[in-house]
A and B are shown apart, each in its own frame.
Chain A
């Protein structure tokens, strides 16, 4: 920029020559310069003002336009927005592992009355009482005329009932659509599914909420609209579950038991393929819980998960496995099983006062010797025994996804003296649920890795920590196989499948806390099959069974639960896709097997 000089020499000289004041020229120039500066500043300020005004105008214009648009348009759902996968938002279905439906929804109607619109209340009350036998005419009439303007009559209606109500033809009778939870298989897997009921109810819809079992535990997942299209896939297998329930029911009747429970679990993933507790109920019409008496007498009581029992001799394998793991014994170590074993003021004896003498460890398990197991447990010591049982999960509730599981905490002795060590080794003084036992046996069966029992079917399962070495786990299964071939569970032989397992008989503790009942027992059989490559664990528990087929009543597990478990394995193993080890049929004069035939062909060729 060219700066104009304030006193240009040429003009000054000219001015001096004319006798004018050169200061006037300087002032004039200064004034002009200031004018230019002022003009520039003004333009800049004006530009800023215009810019700000424009910005404000645009912002307010946008807001104003948006407000005008909102005020002017008709309120309606944005129809062009892409509809989600679920147009009809429902509670998600529950299916078994193969996609067969265990719980679904059905559209029905609820019946309500606007009493102000009723034309002839006495007639409506009479007609409704005729359609619904459980409603009383007097009650209805009283409710119609006691001043309220609105009342519910029925929560759900069948289409036939709805038609009959239509035929009454009173304008005060109105219907509201209802989505009803339906369990098409009735009592099947009732304890797993639990049940559901209506939560908040309105005229046009009502929310369905889970009240028990997996319906309650997974309520948030089932109600999530984002996942409503995807059914919740359980690990249960409908066919296997039905078979287990059928056999268990028949067995319970035959053995005159008060209740029964069975758990069938995959040993590698912890997925439960069948979970049954008898007596059961219909989740479509879930009965109310008991208000008095023993809760375990109610059909709602899930014996497999909630029932904590002393599981008896099934625990012996834990002491034996731990002793093997610690290297204290081998399977052939001779154990002193001479009776009685005296610990303090307690005398440990055998069932029916047997005396097995000196027998190897595997025979202690096969013969189910209390004294032998107690000696092994004393060798291990209470602290290590506690730690081991803790690692097997016997001190915590199981992780099964039904709401009742969290409440079933095993009962463990607070003071762990020598006598506790002894009794716990053969399954007394520690009460756990059959589900705990199934998880622990699965750990032995799968080669020593802890599994978390689960009811949710999934392709991925994280493996738990290693509790036993693979070698010891194999030896434990081998000993359990000995129980079946040479020991107390001889009825568990299933043709085609090698079953390994351990029986357990425990006296029931008296309700008043004074010792044990003489003739009330809990029988358990924990089994693993097939023994050479374990895939499944089956626990069968009977509550107060007695086998009266012989001359005297028998209450040991070998006579009550073992035959039931064997039948369950015989029927379910083929369904689970296990190939039986078939013996070749005996050769006769007209048939021969392939190997012989190829031999013949070879001979013919030469």
Chain B
């Protein structure tokens, strides 16, 4: 029967430990709740600021103002409204006319020592 006092001491210590843990948790929770409250306030303030910035962005980008700015800065930027003439098709982009190579039957073999040159990727078969 040596176990019994030992168990009493152990359970007493466990109660003290649990109490200590509960005490700390309680204060940690309260702290966290305060933090949540503070963060919510901050989020609300930031959202409000964000909404204001968005409103300002929209206000500064209103078509009337942009149109005025385009007119004021025409000499620097030369912006014009989008017109159908500015759009095209890749097919109608003009290429410089390449004259076909003149094939007269002679092959330059001076650099290969008399043998016919090895074919390269660019050659026609």
Task: Name A's B-contacting residues (CB within 8 A).
Answer: 79-80, 83, 87-88, 90, 100-101, 104-107, 182, 184-188, 238-239, 242-243, 246, 494-497, 570-571, 573-575, 579-580, 582, 584-585, 589-594, 597, 600-601, 603-605
Q: Are B51 and A185 in contact (CB under 8 A)?
A: no
Partner of B81, one of A184, A571, A605: A571
Chain B residues 40-83 with CB under 8 Å of chain A are 40, 43-44, 47-48, 51-52, 54-59, 61-64, 67, 81-83
Q: State whether A592 and B95 are in contact (beta carbons under 8 Å apart), knowing that A101-B54, A494-B84, A605-B124 are contacts in the complex.
A: yes
Residues on the A chain within 8 Å of B33, using CB: 79-80
Q: Min CB distance, A114 to chain B, in Å? A: 26
Is residue B36 contacting chain A, with contact meaning CB distance below 8 A? yes
Is residue B92 contacting chain A, with contact meaning CB distance below 8 A? yes
What CA separation (Å) do A605 and B84 show in the bound complex?
A: 38
Is residue B101 contacting chain A, with contact meaning CB distance below 8 A? yes
Q: Are B51 and A186 in contact (CB under 8 A)?
A: no
Q: Please name the residue on chain B nearest to A594 by beta carbon.
A: B91
Residues on the B chain within 8 Å of A603, using CB: 100
Is residue B113 contacting chain A, with contact meaning CB distance below 8 A? no
What CA separation (Å) do A579 and B97 show in the bound complex?
A: 27
Residues on the A chain within 8 Å of B54, using CB: 101, 104
Q: Please name the residue on chain A nearest to B46 by beta carbon.
A: A88
Q: Give me 10 A-to-B residue pairs in the complex whose CB atoms sit less than 8 angstroms apart, sorted by A's number.
A: A107-B48, A185-B63, A570-B84, A573-B84, A575-B82, A589-B97, A590-B96, A591-B96, A597-B95, A603-B100
Closest 4 CB pairs of A and B: A242-B63, A591-B94, A604-B100, A184-B58
Residues on the A chain within 8 Å of B36, using CB: 79-80, 83
Residues on the A chain within 8 Å of B40, using CB: 83, 87
Chain B residues 79-125 with CB under 8 Å of chain A are 81-89, 91-98, 100-101, 124
Q: State whether A243 and B81 are in contact (beta carbons under 8 Å apart), knowing that A107-B52, A182-B55, A582-B92 are contacts in the complex.
A: yes
Partner of A104, one of B55, B82, B124: B55
Is residue B19 contacting chain A, with contact meaning CB distance below 8 A? no
Q: Are B82 and A592 in contact (CB under 8 A)?
A: no
What CA separation (Å) do A573 and B87 show in the bound complex?
A: 11
Q: Min CB distance, B31 to chain A, in Å? A: 12
Partner of A101, one of B55, B81, B93: B55
What CA separation (Å) do A580 and B89 show in the bound complex?
A: 9
Partner of B95, one of A185, A187, A591: A591
Residues on the A chain within 8 Å of B48, using CB: 88, 107
Q: Min CB distance, B116 to chain A, in Å? A: 19
Q: Are A238 and B63 in contact (CB under 8 A)?
A: yes
Q: Are A185 and B58 in contact (CB under 8 A)?
A: yes
Interface residues on B, range: 35 or more
Q: State whether A604 and B51 are in contact (beta carbons under 8 Å apart), knowing that A87-B44, A574-B84, A590-B96 are contacts in the complex.
A: no
Partner of A186, one of B44, B62, B83: B62
Q: Min CB distance, B69 to chain A, in Å? A: 14
Residues on the A chain within 8 Å of B57, using CB: 101
Residues on the A chain within 8 Å of B124, using CB: 604-605
Q: Please name the residue on chain A nearest to B103 by beta carbon.
A: A604
Residues on the A chain within 8 Å of B59, using CB: 182, 184
Residues on the A chain within 8 Å of B82, using CB: 571, 574-575
Q: State whether A87 and B55 are in contact (beta carbons under 8 Å apart), knowing that A575-B82, A579-B87, A593-B92 are contacts in the complex.
A: no
Partner of B84, one of A88, A495, A593: A495
Given contacts A106-B51, A182-B55, 15 further A-B contacts (CB under 8 A): A79-B36, A83-B36, A100-B61, A101-B57, A104-B58, A107-B51, A185-B63, A186-B64, A243-B81, A574-B83, A574-B86, A579-B89, A580-B87, A585-B94, A604-B100
What CA separation (Å) do A105 and B124 show in the bound complex?
A: 69
Partner of A597, one of B52, B64, B98: B98
Q: Are A591 and B97 in contact (CB under 8 A)?
A: yes
Residues on the B chain within 8 Å of A605, using CB: 124
Q: Are A79 and B94 in contact (CB under 8 A)?
A: no
What CA separation (Å) do A105 and B58 show in the bound complex?
A: 12
Q: Min CB distance, A85 to chain B, in Å? A: 11
In this complex, the member of B59, B98, B101 whose beta carbon has the largest number of chain A beta carbons within 10 angstroms is B59
Q: Are A90 and B95 in contact (CB under 8 A)?
A: no
Q: Are B84 and A580 in contact (CB under 8 A)?
A: yes
Residues on the B chain within 8 Å of A106, using CB: 51-52, 55
Q: Min CB distance, B23 to chain A, in Å? A: 19
Residues on the B chain within 8 Å of A579, using CB: 87, 89
What CA separation (Å) do A18 and B17 show in the bound complex?
A: 79
Q: Are B44 and A574 in contact (CB under 8 A)?
A: no
In this complex, the member of B82, B86, B98 whose beta carbon has the largest number of chain A beta carbons within 10 angstroms is B82
What CA separation (Å) do A527 and B82 show in the bound complex?
A: 21
Q: Min CB distance, A275 to chain B, in Å? A: 15
Residues on the B chain within 8 Å of A238, using CB: 63
Residues on the A chain within 8 Å of B64, using CB: 185-188, 242
Q: State whether A571 and B97 are in contact (beta carbons under 8 Å apart), knowing that A88-B48, A594-B91, A605-B124 are contacts in the complex.
A: no
Q: Are A105 and B96 in contact (CB under 8 A)?
A: no
Q: Are B100 and A593 in contact (CB under 8 A)?
A: no
What CA separation (Å) do A590 and B61 show in the bound complex?
A: 44
Q: Min CB distance, A336 to chain B, in Å? A: 41
Q: Please name the residue on chain B nearest to A588 by beta carbon.
A: B94
